[in-house]
Amino acid sequence: MAADSNTGPADEEKVSILLVDDRPDKLLAHEAILSDLGENLVRANSGAEALRRLLQQDFAVILLDVNMPLMDGFETAALIRQRPRSETTPIIFISAVNDTENHVSRGYSLGAVDYILTPVVPEILRAKIAVFVDLYRKTEQVKRQAEERAQFIREQAARADAEAAQQRLAFLADASNVLAGSLDYAETFQNLARLTVPQLADFCIIDVAEEGETLRRVAVAHRDSEQQAKLAVLRDHYQTAPAARHDGTRVFQTGRAEFGEIDEATLSALFEDEETRECVRSLGARCYVAVPLLTRGRVFGSITLMNVDPARRCGFSEMALAEELAQRAALALDNAGLYQAAQKARMEAERANLAKDRFLAMLSHELRTPLTPILSSAMVLEDEEDLRPEVRSSLQMIRRNVELEARLIDDLLDLTRISKGLVQLSREVVDVHQLLNNALDICRSDLDAKHIALTLRLNAETVGLNADPARLQQIFWNLVKNAIKFTPDGGKITVSSWNDDAGNLWFEVEDTGLGIDAEALPKIFNAFEQGERAHLGGLGLGLAITKALVETHQGTITAESEGTHEGARFRVMLPTPVRDPGDSAEAKTAPAAERHSLRILLVEDHEDTNRSLTALLRRRGYEVSPANSVRSALHLATNAHFDVLVSDIGLPDGSGIELMQALDSNRPSFGIALTGFGMEEDVLKTRNVGFNHHLVKPVDLNKLDALIQRGAEARSAANEPPLARIAAG
């Protein structure tokens, strides 16, 4: 029933389900299907109303129609994911459009848990919704239990503090004075150990967590100076064996204080090795209290107090006092150990960043792999001479969108590399105007599609730069694409270049597009920042990456705009060039070499990619032997010699790296890693085992062909023997 129904369970026991559709009849149908669940069904007639509902309450699951006016289901889902409170709420898309290539993929990319095509099968919809309802209810129950448990612990601690307040007041005042007496890390720990002896115990041991969540024994104190030497031995032993189990380990791991008598069973439980147990026996310890060092909800060490005197007890009151001391000591030690905490936080951040990088690498691999056969097949079909114009246009549209998808993936990875300072430039003397024209050629179809008038004012006379050609062309491409994106049909774009008095090269892209308002202009180069222009799509990474790449070339980039609908102007300055590329022997165009017919071992476990690349390479005159695993590749290499190895890195029975290592003397003289992983460390791994190049999917067949030919020419020039091993370059 709908949200205003008076039947079923009490509202406070129901789980809310949000139904979003612009058609009342479809909403009524969904309610009829889900009414048997007896939950709170909430209607929303549009994406905007759905967002308002989410501001008012939480939902177990959202049933979201894709096709709605003004704001469709995808746009609504993207806004839902931007709100922290609803970023993990399950979304099930419902659509009558059977377009798995565009809609389903887009739905899952926005965090959808399912995508259902109409007509809806009632039993299936009810079953799927019921799963998320049950999961939501159990999650809420766990939250309530956790809150109740936390409240119980706080109340218990408060009662214990109240009971012992009078006895420990004077001691704790003295303790605060002692702990505040020094900010030196080691001295503070030692002062703490001395403070507890003999007032709280006969001897004291303090352990602190270090890298790898292991404990290091940092301070000991004994009331008997003769026994102090034995404690020093115990401390030194655990400094050399930090992973060993000892008296502080259990308290550190559980975060709970404990006490007890010391007998053989306790010794075995507390200490891992017999040498340590014998040392404790010789100290004559009869009982112990162990408490965690807690600050800001984190356990970073432990204090162990042991008594020899039979008159000294180790009970609840002693443990409560030790806990109070530990809390005050933790605050003082936290101040003294601020630098160590900052260092640990940095390492934790690096580990988290590494996990993020691994995720991005895996995500890029999974997204890139299916793009290669699509792109390759589209390129082949485009070359067919007898295609109808409308078919050729559709193929060009497919290719452009696949290339755009790959570009978006590259933008995400580029942002990660740039933020970590891992972008490395492969500099050579380049012709800036040539690279600019290359970028314009790539954008030509987009300019024509929007009937945008392009004006070139390339007045720079000195256009030779020592730069990375791929990255420089990426800068030009990003700026031109940005101008096209925000310029309406029939607009104008002007691209200019000139040299200043110092010989520096200036490059400018000016458009008559949407412009940039004054508030957004200072933030335009921030990642994911598009201001009011975000509705035109994209990730908002292009300008951030462009700025970083310009600065990596020791250049500058600025943005100017008179305001909304007044156009925008982006200006890049690249430092003084070294010499015109026409004077460079490296830049002179050599006559095209004859194509080399080579034997290629192609290893790729993705069936469609394997089939399409094999066919395309054979059409270009190569002798290709396909394999889909390390085992099959090794079998082929045993029976024949290959000039080139083109191998995927992720294979079902190993990796391309393991394959390259296993080939050994049968290794082809030229290797190209073919993978969806594009992080810097992935490139380094492949080159370290002998791959000469690392191509990221989707594979540009022309680039792959050029690399194969370049490798053949290099080998021919060096007159290498067929089985020579080429070092990674």
pLDDT for 583: 42
Class of domain 11-141: alpha beta
Q: Is the pLDDT reported for residue 401 higher than 80?
A: no
* Separation of alpha carbons 720 and 716, rounded Å: 7
* Separation of alpha carbons 474 and 103, rounded Å: 29
pLDDT tens digits for range 709-718:
877 776 665 5
pTM, rounded to two decimals: 0.36
Alpha carbon distances (Å) from 528 to 271, 421, 480 = 54, 19, 18
Q: Is the pLDDT reported for residue 637 higher than 80?
A: yes
Range with lowest mean pLDDT among 120-129, 257-266, 694-703: 694-703
According to the per-residue pLDDT averaged within each range, which of 299-303, 591-595, 711-715 is highest?
Answer: 299-303
Range with lowest mean pLDDT among 155-159, 198-202, 509-513: 155-159
Range with lowest mean pLDDT among 294-308, 350-364, 517-531: 350-364
> Which pLDDT band, with edges at 50, 70 and 90, does 592 fall under?
very low
Across the range 104-119, mean pLDDT stands at 80
CB contact at 8 A, 544 and 526: yes
* Separation of alpha carbons 102 and 582, rounded Å: 46
pLDDT for 191: 81
H/E element, 24: helix 24-34
Q: Can you list the alpha helix ranges (DSSP code H) found in 486-578?
A: 542-552
User: Average pLDDT over the chain, rounded to whole?
Assistant: 79
H/E element, 715: helix 701-718
Across the range 52-56, mean pLDDT stands at 91
Tell the burial category of 227 from Cβ atoms under 10 Å away from its Cβ (0-12, 13-18, 19+): middle
pLDDT tens digits for range 539-549:
556 788 888 88
Higher-pLDDT residue of 349, 414: 349
Asked if the bond preceding 698 is cis, omega within 30° of 0, the reply is yes
> Which pLDDT band, with edges at 50, 70 and 90, does 183 fall under?
low
Bridge partners of residue 453, in order along the sequence: 492
Across the range 573-596, mean pLDDT stands at 50
Higher-pLDDT residue of 491, 341: 491
* Separation of alpha carbons 124 and 33, rounded Å: 10
DSSP 8-state code for residue 567: -
> Which pLDDT band, with edges at 50, 70 and 90, does 166 fall under?
low
* Separation of alpha carbons 506 and 574, rounded Å: 6
Across the range 214-219, mean pLDDT stands at 77
Question: 296 in helix, strand or coil?
Answer: coil
CATH number of 180-336: 3.30.450.40
Across the range 8-12, mean pLDDT stands at 48
> Which pLDDT band, with edges at 50, 70 and 90, does 280 fall under?
confident
Class of domain 428-583: alpha beta
> Which pLDDT band, with edges at 50, 70 and 90, does 241 fall under?
very low
> Which pLDDT band, with edges at 50, 70 and 90, does 727 fall under?
very low
Q: Can you list the alpha helix ranges (DSSP code H) found in 450-541?
A: 469-485
**Neighbour order of strands in the sheet with 568-574:** 453-458, 492-499, 505-511, 568-574, 556-560
To 5 degrees, how large is the angle CA 649–CA 650–CA 653?
A: 115
CB contact at 8 A, 173 and 181: no
Q: Is the pLDDT reported for residue 573 higher than 90?
A: yes
CB contact at 8 A, 241 and 213: no
* Strand pairing report for 492-499 and 453-458: parallel
Instruction: With CA atoms as reference, report the closest residue to 312 among 291, 281, 288, 292.
Output: 288
Q: Is the pLDDT reported for residue 725 higher than 60?
A: no
CATH number of 599-718: 3.40.50.2300
pLDDT for 217: 77
Q: Is the pLDDT reported for residue 49 higher than 90?
A: yes
DSSP 8-state code for residue 11: G
> Which pLDDT band, with edges at 50, 70 and 90, does 417 fall under?
low
- Tallying the residues shown for the chain, one arrives at 729
